Amino acid sequence: MATLADLKTRIVAELMRDDLDSGGDLESHMVSTIGRACEYYADRRFWFNAIVTTVDTVGGTATVAIPATVRRVDRVTIPAHNVELTEAILGEVDDIDSVTQGRPERYAYYNDSLRLFRVPDAIYTLRIYGVAQIAAPATGTDTSVWTNEAQDLICAHTKAALLRFPFRDPNGVALAIAEEQDALARLLRETGKRLKSNLRGPADAPWSRNRYDSSLA
């Protein structure tokens, strides 16, 4: 498994810059740039950072905390009832009678939580589909999807950033951006293959809007 140290070695070799190497004047700058590259793509859904998890509601409580393992929520279902909640903006949910209780039908983001309507009248297990929260590597031995599955993408983005500043090499920037786009395209194609699923039935099916897709269970 590749580590942050492996990424650093690769970037130094490809840019041929000794000042980026261990003990070099720009080593710490390169590490922080790698971290920003990971953050840049942290909200993008790939096969390796897709997450499915669950959280239980509390009867009479309108909000439920988003699990710390989830960075972005894409979809919420109640599998036991074969329904999918509709995403709304917070104002839409707040404008509805907040004391009306029942099985939740909508959700909105609210301070790292999901604000639900209807207010749950019992315990419901919500299934959350989204993007996982994966930290950028910080020490040389750190290993994760950013240093492995996404290594080409993170290296290319980091090189583009370094070549833009501090090295101010426009030709190098253009080459690195092209490399980054190639790496991104490859990951998106692979993601499309691995995560391809008919999330909803045919448009004319009576359940097409809210029917829970059991194939994703």
pLDDT (0 to 100) of residue 91: 83
Contacts of range 107-113, beta carbons closer than 8 Å, 24 or more positions apart? 107/73, 107/76, 109/73, 110/63, 112/65, 112/66, 113/63, 113/64, 113/65, 113/66
All structural domains of the chain with their residue ranges: 4-45+135-195, 50-132
pLDDT (0 to 100) of residue 126: 98
Residues 93 and 164: their CA atoms lie apart, in Å, by 44
Cα distances (Å, whole numbers) of residue 88 to 78, 95, 112, 116, 164: 16, 11, 15, 10, 40
In a structure prediction context, what are the per-residue pLDDT tens digits for the chain, which is 217 residues long?
999 999 999 999 999 999 999 999 999 999 999 999 999 999 999 999 999 999 999 999 999 999 999 999 999 999 999 999 999 998 887 766 667 899 999 999 988 999 999 999 999 999 999 999 999 999 999 999 999 999 999 999 999 999 999 999 999 999 999 999 999 999 999 999 998 854 444 433 333 333 333 334 3
Residues 120 and 124: their CA atoms lie apart, in Å, by 7
pLDDT (0 to 100) of residue 100: 82
> 83: which 2 tokens?
């329904």
pLDDT (0 to 100) of residue 94: 74
Angle at 123 between CA 120 and CA 127, to 5 degrees: 90
pLDDT (0 to 100) of residue 93: 79
